[in-house]
Amino acid sequence: MALIKFISVNGDVREVNADSGSNLMQVALDNGIDEILGECGGSCSCATCHCYIAEDWLDKSGKPDEIEQEMLECALDPSKNSRLACQVNISNELDGMVVHLPEAQY
């Protein structure tokens, strides 16, 4: 299990427990993180689970593959630390990870 810290644009912080083996999008949906929509259900085809991984967690959370990179081009305000939450797999190694939420998904 990993503790994930979601930070909204206005600075509100929500800490949630995430089971290893789940993905960040499902964790956000299960815990009422409204900024993550996940309209495609986690199939990496919509970019409505766009988020920003804190820079010091980028190496541990993995790098986007080519398909995710293409989908991130559809996200609002993509950045070098942008990820689709559906593509970030939770492991114990991510305990304490900080995720910044976008102002909007579209």
Is the pTM here over 0.75, yes or no? yes
Biggest distance spanned by C-alpha atoms of the chain? 32
Give the confidence band of 24 by pLDDT, cuts at 50, 70, 90.
very high
Name every residue whose Cβ is closer than 8 Å to that of residue 73 and which is 6 or more positions away in sequence.
Answer: none
Give the confidence band of 46 by pLDDT, cuts at 50, 70, 90.
very high
Name every residue whose Cβ is closer than 8 Å to that of residue 74 and which is 6 or more positions away in sequence.
Answer: 46, 47
Domain 2-100 adopts which CATH fold? Ubiquitin-like (UB roll) (3.10.20)
> What whole-number distance in Å separates Cα of residue 104 and Cα of residue 89?
23
70-103 pLDDT, tens digit each: 999 999 999 999 999 999 999 999 999 999 999 9
